[in-house]
Each structure stands twice: as structure tokens, then as C-alpha cells.
């Protein structure tokens, strides 16, 4: 009987603790987005890209499965860290290959992002 007195409050305490829910890994904006293999991003997230030179690049979002490129952005880089924002409201949900291409359309950086 004494044992039950100890066990029951313990069970009640355990019953009152919240369930552990695994959160999707969100992008840590302090690191270069291309230094991680896969990232979940949401509307308005900023990300960092490092470049060694000043040039015009193209950022592309291509559907991982259909290979359809939904959008490209042409931008001029600065040397060092470039802070950019991604807007997702007009993009269908899914898994995308996020690429940086040079002026000859060569892929120089690539990672996966989930929207």
C-alpha cells in the first residue's frame, strides 16, 4: 500500500507533463544557407550568402521533383556577407533546389529548401 502511495503521485506527475513534439529544423540566419544541406524556410526569412567578389548572380528556386524553376532573381553581390530575404507567399508549397548561378548559368552554390 505504501508503494502505491509513492507510485500514484509519480504517475500523475508524468501524466501532467506536456508531450514532446519534434519541431522542424528552422534556418539559423547566422550561418551561410549554402553551408547546410537542407533547410526549412518561411515567408520573410533572411539568409546569408558569402561571396568573394562583386558580380551579377542569379538565385533560382527549382522544384526538386518536377524540375520546374518557379522564379529567378538577378542580383549584384558584395564581397563578404550578403543578407537577402526570401518571400514565399507566391510560391507553391514544396521542396526546392535553391541555386546560385553565375552569368553563364553555371551553378556555383546549391542547397535544398522546404517551403
Residues that bind other proteins (CB under 8 A): 58-59, 61, 68-75, 83-93
Task: Supply the minimum distance, in Å, between the C-beta of residue 71 and other proteins.
Answer: 5
The least distance separating other proteins from the CB of residue 89, rounded to whole angstroms, comes to 5
Asked if 13 and 30 touch (Cβ cutoff 8 Å), the reply is no
Residue 28 or 95: which CB sits closer to other proteins? 95
Q: 91: Cβ–Cβ under 8 A, 6 or more apart, which residues?
A: 61, 70, 71, 115
28 vs 71 by CB, closer to other proteins: 71
C-alpha span between 69 and 97 (Å, rounded): 9
CB of 31 to other proteins, least distance (A): 18
Determine the Cα–Cα distance for residues 110 and 85; give it in Å rounded to an integer. Answer: 17
Q: 2 or 25: whose CB is closer to other proteins? A: 25
Q: How far is CA 108 from the centre of its chain?
A: 18
CB of 18 to other proteins, least distance (A): 21
Give 36 or 59: the residue with its C-beta nearer to other proteins: 59
Name residues whose C-beta falls within 8 Å of residue 31's C-beta, 6 or more positions apart in sequence.
Answer: 48
Amino acid at each position: 500500500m505504501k508503494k502505491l502511495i509513492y507510485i500514484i503521485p509519480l504517475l500523475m506527475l508524468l501524466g501532467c507533463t506536456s508531450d514532446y513534439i519534434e519541431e522542424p529544423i528552422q534556418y539559423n540566419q547566422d550561418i551561410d544557407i549554402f553551408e547546410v544541406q537542407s533547410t526549412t524556410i518561411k515567408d520573410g526569412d533572411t539568409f546569408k550568402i558569402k561571396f568573394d567578389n562583386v558580380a551579377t548572380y542569379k538565385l533560382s528556386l527549382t522544384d526538386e521533383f518536377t524540375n520546374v524553376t518557379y522564379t529567378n532573381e538577378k542580383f549584384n553581390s558584395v564581397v563578404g556577407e550578403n543578407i537577402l530575404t526570401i518571400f514565399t507567399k507566391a510560391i507553391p508549397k514544396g521542396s526546392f533546389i535553391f541555386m546560385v548561378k553565375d552569368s553563364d548559368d553555371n551553378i556555383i552554390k546549391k542547397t535544398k529548401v522546404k517551403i
